[in-house]
Amino acid sequence: MAELETFGFENEDIRGGIYEKYKAKKNNVDRVGILFTDPKAMFAGAKVHFNQRFFLCKKGICCEKCGLPKWRVGSAIIKYGTDKQGALRTPFSYEILPWIFSETTYIRLKNINTEFPLASHDMKISCTNEEYQHLDLTPCNESIWQAKDELKKKILEEAKPVWEYVKKGIASDMSIEEIRDLLNAGSVGGGGAVDPTSKLDLDKVLDSV
């Protein structure tokens, strides 16, 4: 796995909108595959906090003020051209997208992977809550992008810049000073910073009540 890059606030790639990040949509089934060259490096991830933005945990003031850090994970995926039920459209088409998600989704992927290795199976994704990306994941029988060597080669080549984007898009790498400034500014302004991942957990708890 490559090293994460370090930068201040000058990085324009993250919100530059070069690639739209993958998001599941309600009442819609997507068929996707996780792209990789090494099955041991399918994902990039880091422990992060959220306060107005995701930033890397530095095990200090961030944890004191924001609580325990959570994993944020990303991968490059292929999203096939399908109808709303996830059935492939002809002619064959696809998009390659960055996908960045919470530890909850990672754990779901891991569970599927024990029965259907995601290195050799696409999956169908639908969502019950678009805003918080509560996803339903169903493995498919095959991995289309790997079915033909030539196609696979082409797709992996196209995935390279997307993969770089994923690594940068996990979280901002801020210095302790910058984190302190961010957190102080947040508290002076009366907050307003809601951690979407803790909201996600709350929803889950309430669902099972």
Report the residue count for the chain.
209
Residue number, 57 or 77, with CB nearest to Zn ion:
57
Site residue total, Zn ion (CB under 5 A)? 4
Q: Kindly identify the residues of this chain, within the stretch 41-80, that bind Zn ion according to CB under 5 A.
A: 57, 62-63, 69
Tell me, residue by residue from 148 to 187, as one string, x for binding to Zn ion by CB under 5 A and - for no binding. ----------------------------------------
Residue number, 56 or 109, with CB nearest to Zn ion:
56
Q: Of 43, 38, 44, 59, whose CA–CA distance to 5 is shortest?
A: 44
d(CA 5, CA 172): 9
In the complex, least distance from residue 157 CB atom to Zn ion, rounded to whole angstroms: 37
Q: Kindly identify the residues of this chain, within the stretch 107-146, that bind Zn ion according to CB under 5 A.
A: none
Check if the beta carbon of residue 24 is closer than 8 Å to that of residue 30.
Answer: yes
d(CA 86, CA 175): 43
Both tokens assigned to 47: 């422990």
Residue number, 69 or 169, with CB nearest to Zn ion:
69
Check if the beta carbon of residue 132 is closer than 8 Å to that of residue 56.
Answer: no
Instruction: Give the footprint of Zn ion on this chain (CB under 5 A).
Output: 57, 62-63, 69
